[in-house]
Structure 1
């Protein structure tokens, strides 16, 4: 399938003329483009002409995307249409005249084939909503939402000015509320402590009239501070039985599809609460906005399954010993938990930030939205087109599709008026579902493919642990690049909460000295396995390094490093080999040797924690070249040969230790020679001994 490109100068506000169209066509490997000036108005016929066939159409405008889509629908066009923002991304701004290579890159990326769909996670909401909080907040919203949802109320405190309505919806009272679950599957538990059970109460007001202290009002909850314990209200309630002062805290609960939490402080205190949970608090504007959102969450919904998990290479745990816990600690939605020797990710709670895949040292968790291969192809395509159009020192700006995209759009519009400078010509935006989903493998892969810089935009919507994880990854990436002689700051975390602040951060970045990069762009494709991509990137960076070095010191916590063994303490029990999830520590089937393949090591620490002699220590570093791929002997011993068949079956040190400890034990004193035999010969010796015993018994 070929691609047709339609670009427009937006009424001559962008530097797109015939010469620019020719240059774009050459960079994209197609005929010269003919830029329009009013593609959405006077020259719309040119756009309609491209819809005649089945070729892919890429339109360099998102401002009028709705119009172009409607026209295609009216024409019943079958050609796939893509839209890309050229105007705010570079066509407007102080460096607009130098932005042609960036435009070529953005157009080339938009022309890529569709990626394979990812599995989905399904939700089913019947609209059963529980409103939680003080009566003064819950009751008004219950009335408003009852026509759209099946409303239940859980009142955590009463209010003298709020009378309970007639029994048109379930009403509960309680404290110590706990909530688990997600959209369509919430489980709520609370303690019913007040003497009056609102579900049994008929609102007859007999208790109010009977109470001498006026401790009960129209919210039908006993004010225990004012109550004189006369129990007159119980007598007045009679057979209805709604009042019980002997009631101990009674556990209550229910299942709901949606939660509207109007408490002062959210009952689910997570940076990323589960879908279907809304906690606007006391803010009336937030209440109105979130109530509208909640009312629309009735029916069947789906979202992408953002991750792929390969438990075989997971370094989380072995034999109840915790090694790597990075994904559990970084998850802001508490979607990841311990499951034996592995982890378990709840796809219903996962919100797709991807931070777990970024910090995973082995690649057991990988991101699927987009997949690493898809994102890698997109970045490689952009960098190739940028270079083909004559661009130099390209920088990628990774940003979220939410607030990050809004900030960039505002930046571009302000640049169009001259109020801000706008995106520098060499900075190409790359939108992601979440910026935490790309880490060291993606960054170094991009640099190997020709990027000078990778900028990560933190727009304020990220959880604190995400930013800490990104900073740690940046520290490791920079240590590797600096160790190979690549000077400068290649990966930068840009913190900005507004378009104006982003503009200032970008100008500060532009003032930095150019960085050193490989003299040649890499040809490899980003792999689906993180460690494979890193190996490709390391090999390319080493090959073209200004100061090649095969051993680079790394900061603590880096996912690369060596293992050292105290040979005098190690007994070669091979417990560490059994604990290693990555086959970095291996034995030798022919000799008593402990060997180590450094490129496989993720520094999870399971070997160190498993070793019964505390003989193992870890050192973060990056070893490059063939030495990292070849097994290195960490410890070895003289083999002990079976006294019966001469086959080696253990180490001399191990057998001598065993003999010294067991020779005086009553159970072994008469069979000490058997301890010197291999397992096969021990069985044979035992059988021979039984035969001799049987013959002696027969002779008797």
Structure 2
């Protein structure tokens, strides 16, 4: 069923509710500008319809018998067991046998290599004189492409991701030029994945059900042809290096802000925001009809396109509750990301003294049994501004101002991107390796003297600083500090006097670093006798001393 039909049907249901909250809901949905981008950027696929049908002999033969005669010349049949000779095929079609099959690519550009008698060959090339297949119809139970969401043009019938009828329809329908939106924006400058050859955060890679994200040359790369816009990578990203763009979360939050404001204008009480995506019209309409009229449906492109910042913003704007309606087709990886975000949300709500299901995940078919709340936590009239992390902090601060906190510091689940670092300063040499790799500037150098500072609000617990420390003196401490001033202030983590050059007196390095180098290199052949003193010199004086020594002792030039 099309999106237009779905929205129209839900609107018809909303129009039938005429109590005070129902009329307020009608007004809010009419008066609030619909989410969406007018002109999204796109990627283009070109397909000529050449299909590979691959799997066990019986399954391939059964499928081939259903292919219309006019389309049989577009299909290449590959059997992966040795039953092909005994199975009858439609006239004009033949099996190819392959012991191993490797498939990679997307609609219009699938690379297929087969291995038989230890020789690896491009199947499209040897059967059709082309480099690529346009479509893949995979009838095997395990599949030859292992992404939870296979690429566009890949019909995984054997894994029951699509039906045989869908695959048959594709033979005629998927020929031509097709455009698909680019769902995401990527800012590698704020990415916490890697720095200076050290790997840190991999949340986005782990979250993608389409395997569209990878690390290439130590940088996150999104393949737009594989991406199917589930949104889980953007929700999982702690630095907003990846953001959803159809629409972006800021527009979504502004939409919810306006929606609830319009609802209250008409006297609506205790609104509940229901985020949904990819739900069938019948299922959602049936469930919504059994829910109070104060439940306001908000359609997203994908359920995971918004995360914890949007959920808490809705509570700050006056929602009594936020409910996420998940369809049965929600990918496992996407559900896992939502559940991880919900675990963090639950820890925040518990610390505030509220029930964890103020933000709840429910299947579409069980919405009518969801426990619903009738009292709003806040009535915030000002729109939150800033990055998603800043908006979450603002929303939490507003909720905390109306709550009695047992402690100013609360625990968060392992892996949550909130917390601070502990530094064993007695062993820290202030080499600044941690500062160099910090992606959010949570760690900074003092500048005027050897030392570094830390701001908890900015720390995403990516682990880059911990891995970069040559002395192993940094430990991550996941937590959330509810005192905004403390969380946002920049504290000195470690500071010490600078060592002064023994020749010119210029400060040039931390004392602890100089002492550490003298201790470790005292027995080194290059630092015997007076040469060890060079470690206590600034760079300029060190060079002058080396040059002067070589001029006085020319034979030492042979050892350089």
TM-score bin, normalised by smaller chain: 0.7 to 0.9
Q: Which residue of 1 aligns with 2:155?
A: 278
Cα distance in 1 for residues equivalent to 2:281 and 2:408: 40
Tell me how far 1:693 sits from its aligned partner: 6.8
Q: Does 1:403 align with 2:286?
A: no
Q: Does 1:122 align with 2:44?
A: yes
**2:420 partner SS:** strand
Question: Are the equivalent residues in 2 in contact too, given 1:405–1:431 (CA < 8 A)?
Answer: no
Query: 5+ residue gaps in structure 1?
Result: 1-61, 67-81, 194-247, 416-421, 695-700
Question: Are the equivalent residues in 2 in contact too, given 1:585–1:596 (CA < 8 A)?
Answer: yes
Q: Which residue of 1 aligns with 2:12?
A: 87
Tell me how far 1:171 sits from its aligned partner: 4.4
After the TM superposition, which residues 25-174 of structure 1 pair with which residues of structure 2 at under 5 Å, given as runs? 85-89=10-14, 91=16, 98-109=21-32, 111-112=33-34, 115-139=37-61, 141-142=63-64, 144-148=67-71, 150-157=74-81, 158-159=83-84, 162-164=87-89, 168=92, 171-174=95-98
Q: Does 1:574 align with 2:444?
A: no
Q: TM-score, normalised by structure 1?
A: 0.71
Tell me how far 1:666 sits from its aligned partner: 3.1
Question: Are the equivalent residues in 1 in contact too, given 2:37–2:246 (CA < 8 A)?
Answer: no
Q: Does 1:470 align with 2:338?
A: yes
Query: Which region of structure 1 is more displaced relative to structure 2, 486-495 or 306-315?
Result: 486-495
C-alpha distance 85-616 of structure 1, shift in aligned 2 (>3 A): same
Question: Are the equivalent residues in 2 in contact too, given 1:332–1:463 (CA < 8 A)?
Answer: yes
Query: Which region of structure 1 is more displaced relative to structure 2, 403-412 or 126-135?
Result: 403-412
Cα distance in 2 for residues equivalent to 1:549 and 1:105: 38
419, 422, 429: which one aligns with 1:561: 419
Q: Which residue of 2 aligns with 1:614?
A: 472
Q: Which residue of 2 aligns with 1:367?
A: 244
Cα distance in 2 for residues equivalent to 1:314 and 1:324: 8
Cα distance in 2 for residues equivalent to 1:128 and 1:492: 45
205, 219, 223: which one aligns with 1:346: 223
**1:429 partner SS:** strand
Q: Which residue of 2 aligns with 1:331?
A: 208
Cα distance in 1 for residues equivalent to 2:247 and 2:51: 33
Tell me how far 1:131 sits from its aligned partner: 1.2
Question: Are the equivalent residues in 2 in contact too, given 1:596–1:633 (CA < 8 A)?
Answer: yes
Question: Are the equivalent residues in 2 in contact too, given 1:84–1:107 (CA < 8 A)?
Answer: no
Tell me how far 1:129 sits from its aligned partner: 0.9
Question: Are the equivalent residues in 1 in contact too, given 2:424–2:474 (CA < 8 A)?
Answer: yes
Cα distance in 1 for residues equivalent to 2:420 and 2:36: 42
Q: Does 1:682 align with 2:529?
A: no
Q: TM-score, normalised by structure 2?
A: 0.88
Query: Which region of structure 1 is more displaced relative to structure 2, 613-622 or 465-474?
Result: 465-474
94, 100, 110: which one aligns with 1:186: 110
Question: Are the equivalent residues in 2 in contact too, given 1:476–1:555 (CA < 8 A)?
Answer: yes
Tell me how far 1:580 sits from its aligned partner: 1.2
Tell me how far 1:404 sits from its aligned partner: 5.0
Query: 5+ residue gaps in structure 2?
Result: 125-131, 555-560
Tell me how far 1:406 sits from its aligned partner: 4.3
Tell me how far 1:252 sits from its aligned partner: 4.7
Question: Are the equivalent residues in 1 in contact too, given 2:201–2:463 (CA < 8 A)?
Answer: yes
Question: Are the equivalent residues in 2 in contact too, given 1:486–1:517 (CA < 8 A)?
Answer: no
**1:568 partner SS:** helix
**2:357 partner SS:** coil
Question: Are the equivalent residues in 2 in contact too, given 1:576–1:608 (CA < 8 A)?
Answer: yes
Cα distance in 1 for residues equivalent to 2:413 and 2:436: 27
Q: Does 1:495 align with 2:363?
A: yes
The Cα offsets for residues 447-482 of structure 1, whole Å up to 9 and x where unpaired, read as 122212110112221122322221221221232234
C-alpha distance 141-113 of structure 1, shift in aligned 2 (>3 A): closer
C-alpha distance 263-113 of structure 1, shift in aligned 2 (>3 A): closer
After the TM superposition, which residues 267-666 of structure 1 pair with which residues of structure 2 at under 5 Å, given as runs? 267-281=144-158, 286-400=163-277, 402-411=278-287, 415=289, 422-486=290-354, 489-496=357-364, 498=365, 501-503=366-368, 505-506=369-370, 509-510=371-372, 514=374, 517-518=377-378, 520-525=379-384, 527=386, 529-547=387-405, 550-623=408-481, 624-666=483-525
